[in-house]
Amino acid sequence: MVKAKRLGLKERYSLMTRGLDWETTYQPMDQVFPYDKYEGIKILDWDKWEDPFRLTMESYWKYQSEKERKLYAILDAFQQNNGQLNISDARYMSAVKLWLQGITPLEYAAHRGFAHAGRAFRGAGARVACQMQSIDELRHAQTQLHAFSHYNKFFNGMHGFAHIRDRAWYLSIPKSFFEDAMSAGPFEFVTSISFAFEYVLTNLLFMPFVSGAAYNGDMATTTFGFSAQSDESRHMTLGLEVVKFMLEQHEDNVPIVQAWLDKWFWRGYRLLGLVGTMMDYMLPKKVMSWKEAWEIYWEGNGIALFHDLNRYGIRLPKYHEVATKEKTRVTHELWATLYQYGNALGLHTWVPEDEELDWMSEKYGELFDTMYRPRLLFMREQENAGKRYFNNRLPMVCQVCQIPVFFTEPDDPQKICVRIVEWADTKHHCCSDGCADIFNREPEKFVQSLIPPQQIYRGEAGGARDIFEYAEWLHLKKDVDTGEYRGSPDHKNWEAWRSEKPTPQTNSDEAA
Amino acid sequence: MAVKHLGGGYEFKSENREEKYGGDINFYIQWEKHLLYSCPSAYRAPVDMILRDFLEQMFKLDYVTHPDTAELDIETLEWELDQKPWQPDLDKSLKENGIGHMTYLQIRSPGLNGMFGTGI
Amino acid sequence: MTDKVFIALQNNSEAQAIIEAILEDNSSAIANESPGMVKIDCPGRLIVRRETVAEKMGREFDLQEIHINLISIGGNIDETDDEFVLSWNS
């Protein structure tokens, strides 16, 4: 084969992404692409779209297949060498379970969402970028399921991730986040997922948390996590590109984009509370606190990004200062919530060990020492007295983010923050001004939310009358999949495996 | 503002409307300064339930873990209904007291301000 | 204060050459290691030069190979066959 003279990157990219499309004549373009105008975004010239990575489809396949080869070689080694025994502690598995139940389905939802957005845009450059991302997201869902399937042989609570995705109260948080985005128009979808979530916020998930997985000996998660993140930087770039593209195309786009950034920053931040709690509580060996991660990735890198967008007339997202005020509390408030509603969770909760509490005191200071540490110690006393604390009464849940309403007022950590919103004579409750604003902007959308405790009370959760029947409807076995970690089958098995037995039994409920 | 949409109207009824409760209501209560319980609690109850019965037979059982519950005097509670000061008659029904579907109640118990001096 | 751009790479032997090249070509860059990864912060602008990476690796290097070990970035990207640049315009 004769090797032709290689074209430059810019020419190659231009050849592969321009002139491939055409103006339709049998049907008007607006009929062929019915979704890319109704949101009010004005595009004058689609050819101004630039993919900064200039990755052609050919290179895309080449590098993706190399990533897959590397990943699966490691996953094979992990499985063959009983990699599950190398994690720091079986408590760590709660983080893995939450990832499998809560995050992996989002990858699949993103696959669907980008397939739809790719079809909806009439510009070829945007379509190619969405196509690549759609394929990436499917890859992420698959590699995560492959990686986690090994853990599923040894630990409880991982058996029905698809079943509980549509039923569990704590999974309605990520699910509703994505369904809100997917049911919006294509520009809002890409702004929400690629920009607000991936560019601004997922660094907090894939960097400190995956680094934490590495520190806790989870080779499987580390490997797919960083492999996925290598795609993520391309997605983030798409996010920044689509935002800049809209802002540069027409000044009328600026207020629309700003409203989306306000909304999706807040929704993404609320969702990431789960990740912060994984970092602070579910990693037995700590790498970085949520507070530190927030300072680095939002207060440093995130704000730098908004400074850059300032020249288009974009300001910092609304309520970012509230998010920053909450950085010393949110993970402690959320963990206490997961702990007390643990009878309906497909993962275990516990009171951290003393050294972990000391680490939190060091990272979080006075507020932790006066409020959260004493609360955790009270819970420990109860448990030691044989009365492990559970709250079996269903909570109020935010109509927008679907998180139980546990957040406290921005300037008063002792007062629960509730905002009442009204639409068509029915009252609803939100957890914050951020969520209340989102509701009030699109009330007809959010009155449709399926809120799990309300669903249960209406008799629409398999007829469950209380939290225990509800857990059965989730296919979660009491005290095996749910509840306290100490004394659970996962705990007993772990102790047995770590003591001397070289070959673990798979998925037994009782320690041998 | 309204939802931007394609095609005809975009109108939906509230998913949690009262008519789905078969005569009962869904309402919420929160005990201020008792953050051992992280969230306001949600209830479904008949509208003719007497408020005192609700407090004695439902609410107190749910909050049994908190040491303040044993000392709680429901006669001295300070109330808010939908975030406005309000005084109920404990011997009247939820409905007679004006507690309706999606009402949010807050109570404060003078002298009982949670544990550790920080409202836990 | 100039806002910082950043690039994060997996901490493996292949990426080591890229990291060394970046630190050599960007005198203000600071590498922060955490388990499994290295995050390099740099005020205003950061450049990855194909030539320097190839030299460190002792083989030809296509800049797009960076995708294999890349974890994340912060900044606007401008990429050609020879240079991968991150910058903030502000």
**Residues A447, B15: C-beta atoms closer than 8 Å:** yes
Q: Which residues of A touch C3 (CB under 8 A)?
A: 303-304, 307-308
How confident is the model at residue C14, as a pLDDT? 87
Number of domains, chain C: 1
Give pLDDT tens digits for A409-448: 999 999 999 999 999 878 999 999 999 999 999 999 999 9
Question: What local confidence, expressed as pLDDT, does residue B7 receive?
Answer: 84
Q: A119 CB near a chain B CB, below 8 Å? A: no
Q: How confident is the model at residue A512 (pLDDT cuts 50, 70, 90)?
A: very low
- pLDDT for res A4: 60
Query: Cβ–Cβ of B41/A396 closer than 8 Å?
Result: yes
Whether C79 contacts chain A with CB within 8 A: yes
Contact C88 A307 (CB under 8 A): yes
Return the pLDDT at A504: 57
| C90 pLDDT above the threshold of 80 | no
The domain that contains A101 carries what CATH number?
Answer: 1.10.620.20
Instruction: For residue range A203-261, list pLDDT tens digits in order.
Output: 887 788 888 999 999 988 888 888 888 888 888 888 888 999 999 999 999 999 999 99
- Tell me the chain A residues in contact with residue C74 when contact means C-beta distances shorter than 8 Å: 203, 301, 304-305
Q: Is the pLDDT of residue A28 over 50?
A: yes
3-state DSSP of chain B: CCCCCCCCCCCCCCCCCHHHHCCEEEEEEEECCCCCCCCCEEEEEECCCEHHHHHHHHHHHHCCCCHHHHHCCHHHCEEEECCEEECCCCCCECCCCCCCCCCEEEEEECCECCCCCCCC
- The answer, for C77 touching chain A at a CB cutoff of 8 Å, is yes
Task: Please give the structure tokens belonging to residue A380.
Answer: 């420990």
Total residues found in chain A within this entry = 512
Question: Which residues of C fall within a CB distance of 8 Å from A66?
Answer: 68
- Report, as an integer, the average pLDDT of A26-35: 96
Q: Summarize pLDDT for B104-113 with one digit per residue, the tens.
A: 999 999 999 9
B51-68 exposure pattern, b = at least 16 Cβ within 10 A, e = fewer? beebbeebbeebbebbeb
Q: Which two structure tokens, joined as six digits, stand for A402?
A: 């679907």
Name the DSSP class of A343: G
**Residue in A with minimal Cα distance to B15:** A448
CATH number of the domain enclosing C15: 3.90.56.10
Q: Return the DSSP state at A193.
A: I
At A163 the pLDDT is 95
Tell me the H-state helices in A278-414: 290-294, 303-309, 320-325, 330-340, 354-364, 366-367, 373-384
Q: Does B42 reach chain A within 8 Å, measured CB to CB?
A: yes
- Nearest C-alpha of chain C: how many angstroms from A220? 12
State residue C76 phi and psi, 5-degree precision.
-80, 140
CB contact under 8 A, C34 and A8: no
Between A16 and A488, the higher pLDDT residue: A488
Q: What's the mean pLDDT in A177-188? A: 96
Element (H, E) at C33: strand C30-34
The yes-or-no verdict on residue A136 having pLDDT over 70 is yes
Residues of B in contact with A385 (CB under 8 A): none
Nearest to A418 among B40, B41, B120 (CB): B40
Cβ distance of B28 and A450 shorter than 8 Å: no
| Cβ-based contacts of A374 with chain B (< 8 Å) | 115-116, 118, 120
Task: Give me the pLDDT at residue C2, please.
Answer: 83
Provide the residue count of chain B. Answer: 120
Identify all chain A residues contacting C34, using CB atoms and an 8 Å cutoff.
Answer: 208, 211, 287-288
| Nearest-CA distance B38 → chain A (Å) | 5
- Given a cut of 60, whether residue B61 has pLDDT beyond it is yes
Kindly list the residues from chain C whose CB atom is less than 8 angstroms away from the CB atom of residue A52.
76-79
Task: Measure A303 CA to nearest chain C CA, in Å.
Answer: 9
Q: In this structure, what token pair is assigned to residue C40?
A: 């390099």
Per-residue pLDDT reduced to its tens digit, C57-78: 999 999 999 988 998 899 989 8
Specify the CATH number for B23-108; select among 3.30.559.10, 3.30.9.30, 3.10.20.560, 3.40.50.300.
3.10.20.560
| Mean pLDDT rounded to a whole number for chain A | 92
Chain A contact probe: residue of B25, B39, B61 with most A CBs at under 10 A: B39
Range of lowest pLDDT (A35-39, A143-147, A422-426, C43-47): A422-426
In the numeric block, which tokens belong to residue A386? 């044989």
For the stretch A362-409, pLDDT in tens is 999 999 999 999 999 999 999 999 999 999 999 999 999 999 999 999
Residues 345 through 404 of chain A touching chain C, CB cutoff 8 Å: none
pLDDT band with cut points at 50, 70 and 90 for residue A511: very low
Q: What is the structure's pLDDT at A499?
A: 87
Among the partner residues C65, C78, C88, nearest to A52 by beta-carbon distance: C78
Residues of A (349-388) whose Cβ lies below 8 Å from B: 370-371, 374-375, 378, 382, 387
pLDDT number for residue A49: 85
Would an 8 Å CB–CB cutoff place B108 in contact with chain A? Answer: no
pLDDT recorded at residue A56 = 79
B104-108, strands of its sheet edge to edge:
B41-46, B24-31, B104-108, B78-81, B84-86
Where is pLDDT greater, at B50 or A52? B50
Checking if the pLDDT of A353 tops 50, the result is: yes
- The answer to whether residue B70 neighbours chain A at the CB level (below 8 Å) is no
A201/A78: higher pLDDT: A78
Higher pLDDT, B64 or A506: B64
Å between A218 CA and nearest CA of chain C: 11
Q: Is A265 within the bounds of a domain?
A: yes
Mean local confidence (pLDDT), A191-195: 92
Distance in Å, alpha carbon of C4 to nearest chain A alpha carbon: 7
For the cut 60, the answer to whether the pLDDT of residue A305 exceeds it is yes
Residue A20: is its pLDDT beyond 80? no
* Chain A, window 18-57: residues with a beta carbon less than 8 angstroms from a chain B beta carbon: 34-35, 38-40
Residues A231, B56: Cα–Cα separation, whole Å: 57
Residue ranges covered by each domain of chain B: 23-108
Q: What is the mean pLDDT of residues A466-489?
A: 97
Asked if A39 and A185 count as a contact pair (C-beta separation under 8 A), the reply is: yes
Residue A35 has pLDDT above 60, yes or no: yes
Question: In total, how many domains does chain A have?
Answer: 1
Q: Do B15 and A378 touch (CB under 8 A)?
A: no
From CA A101, how far away is CA A162, in angstroms rounded?
8
| Mean pLDDT of the region B39-61 | 97
Q: Which residues of A touch B6 (CB under 8 A)?
A: 34-35, 38
**B24-31 and B104-108 as β-strands: parallel, antiparallel, unpaired?**
parallel
Convert the pLDDT of each residue in C22-55 to its tens digit: 999 999 999 999 888 999 999 999 999 999 999 9
Classify burial at C64, counting beta carbons within 10 Å of its beta carbon; exposed 0-12, middle 13-18, buried 19 or more. buried
Option in A53, A67, A229 nearest C71 (CB): A229
The whole domain housing C78 covers 4-87
A395 touches chain B (CB under 8 A): yes
Task: Identify the burial level of A27 via C-beta atoms within 10 angstroms of its C-beta, where 0-12 means exposed, 13-18 middle and 19 or more buried.
Answer: exposed
Whether residue C49 lies within 8 A of chain A, CB to CB, comes out as no
Residue A50 domain-assigned (yes or no): yes
Summarised one tens digit per residue, pLDDT across range B84-95 is 999 999 999 999
User: A371 vs B103: CB contact, 8 Å cut-off?
Assistant: no
Owning domain of residue A295: 34-394+450-499
Q: Is the pLDDT of residue A189 over 90?
A: yes
Rounded Cα distance, A107 and B68, in Å: 45
Tell me the β-bridge partners of A395. B41
Given a contact cutoff of 8 angstroms between Cβ atoms, the answer to whether B120 and A378 are in contact is: yes
The answer to whether the Cβ–Cβ distance between A305 and C74 falls below 8 Å is yes
B14 contacts in chain A (CB < 8 Å): 423-424, 426, 428, 447-448
Q: Which residues in chain A (180-209) have CB-CB distances under 8 A to chain B?
A: 185
| Residues of chain C by 3-state class (helix, strand, coil), percent to 5 | 30, 40, 25
**Which residue, among C60, C67, C69, C89, would best test binding to A if mutated, counting the most A CBs under 10 Å from its CB?**
C67
Confidence at residue B108, expressed as pLDDT on a 0 to 100 scale = 98
* Angle separating helix axes A124-152 and A104-120, nearest 10 degrees: 160
| Cα of A353 to nearest chain B Cα, Å | 19
